[in-house]
Amino acid sequence: MELLINVRKWIEDNKSAFLPPVCNKLMHRHQLNVMFVGGPNERKDYHIEEGEELFYQVKGDMCLKIIENGKRKDIVIREGEMFLLPARIPHSPQRYANTMGLVIERERLKTEIDGLRYYVGDSTDVLFEKWFHCEDLGTQLAPIIQEFFNSRQYQTGKPNPDEILKETPFPLNFTSVMEPFSFRGWLNDHRGEIQQKKSLSMFGDNFETEVGRKSCTLRQVLTCPALWKHLSSSTHLTSLGQRLPNSVPFTELT
């Protein structure tokens, strides 16, 4: 994969891949999984993973349905806004036609598994769930969703007690989530700090994600310098004082 990618052109070149039920296309997979997600999607499932997920809306708005403290909640992420979802919170991204969002998550460890859940009606009672090791969410979700549609649980609307784990593979997170915020506004407010420091805690000490001029670390886990140059610069990327050709900075995507 090239170090620099014209994101607008990449989205246009791959628009045929943004298909229901998930509507996503993986751009990069090495330490960080970087994907773009279009719409409309067709999802009532809730995804659960052991890492954080970073959302940024490039075009249009989206609604991220979550289970917060045992209750359903809708998080509306508007165009140009960013939102960091804590680990181990069930979530269901709802996307609309003619929208585009960026989602970044860390690569899974070999020992980690993800979960996909459906709930009974508007409750938080589990109707159906599947746990799996995730390598490419875009290709792995569709077969599981189809398995649910073919299941007795889908036909009856009632769970099968023999197929639901009595304990989840890891404890779910009952923390309260942050509010989405304007990424451009945050950059403008913290530009001086970003230029002076190697990295800046963007979401507080309870999260692993940090932002810096040249790198982002999921603390003590990974680094991805090229990606976060896009995220932390409002000007085109430069090398030895020269503007790099065909580079599209993250903050100019809107």
**Identity of the residue numbered 45:** D
Here the tokens at position 19 are 């298909």
How many helical (H) and strand (E) elements, i.e. helices and strands, does the chain have? 5, 18
Q: Which residues contact 223 (CB under 8 A, 6 or more apart)?
A: 31, 215, 216, 217
Closest CA to 254 of 55, 79, 78: 79
Structure tokens belonging to residue 209: 């994600």
Binding residues for O2: 43
Can the peptide bond before residue 21 be classed as cis, meaning omega within 30 degrees of 0?
Answer: yes
Bind-site residues for substrate: 53, 95, 105
Per the annotation, where are the binding residues? 43, 47, 53, 91, 95, 105
- The SS3 of residue 166 is coil
Residues of the binding site for Fe cation: 47, 53, 91
